[in-house]
Copies of this chain bind each other. A is one copy, B any other.
Amino acid sequence: MKATELSQAGRRGPYAKSADRRRTIVTAAHAVFAARGYRGGSLQEVADRVGMSQTSLLHYFPTKRDLLLAVLTWRDSISGDGAGAPDPEESLADAVIRQALFNEDIPGVIELYTVLCAESITEDHPGRTYFLDRFARLRFSYAQAFTRLAQEGRLRRGVDPERAAASLIALWDGIQTQWLFAPDSIDMAGSLRDYLGLIILPE
């Protein structure tokens, strides 16, 4: 028997219902963190929503930090913004608008993103790395797309791709924040469409 086998000895892996259980926990945690933030939300509240004890919750996610990271990972899979281009024929502008309209209809997704993103700026926040990576990745991705448009002569003269990438993300995040405060006064897709219409020239 080898050392590697010893370390694995007796392990049987999670039971059948385990995956389902984890999913419902992450869903509940998503709602709690969206409504109260990471610091404001408690494991007890998550456990209550799931209908299980706080101790059982900690069996699946040993620390609150682990739970948050699971929520952020799950968010990526349901919102799937960023580079993921399902249709290569779709224009950048159309993809952005479609994504914005899509997120608008999933309750809590924008709340979670906006609340946790700003909270991650505070000291010792476990979400910091996630948002740091996300911004770097998104800026790179959009800058690349704008550079491609520029090569086709479809970017307005004077527009810098890198700066436009940061500005597009900034506008998107900022308009989401205002929308959360006053949904009836803010047209998220409209603002994004206007901006993209200003910097991207018609084909």
Contact = CB atoms under 8 A, between A and B. Distances in A.
Interface stretch (A50-58, A62-70, A168-176): A168-176
Given A166-B175, A174-B173, A122 B194 contact: no
Nearest to A187: B163
Given A118-B115, A135-B181, A159-B194, A37 B36 contact: no
A182 B123 contact: no
Number of copies of this chain that the complex holds: 2
B174 A122 contact: no
A190 interface: yes
Interface residues of A, number: 49
B36 A123 contact: yes
B132 A121 contact: no
Interface of A is mostly: helix
Contact of A167 (B39, B139, B173, B195): B195
A122 B131 contact: no
A198 interface: yes
A147 interface: no
A185 B137 CA distance: 13
A191 B178 contact: no
Interface string A151-184: 0000010111001101101111111011011100
A166 B186 contact: yes
6 contacts: A35-B122, A39-B39, A131-B181, A166-B185, A170-B172, A170-B191
Interface of A: 35-37, 39-40, 111, 114-115, 117-119, 121-123, 131-132, 135-136, 139, 156, 158-160, 163-164, 166-167, 169-175, 177-178, 180-182, 185-187, 190-191, 194-195, 197-199
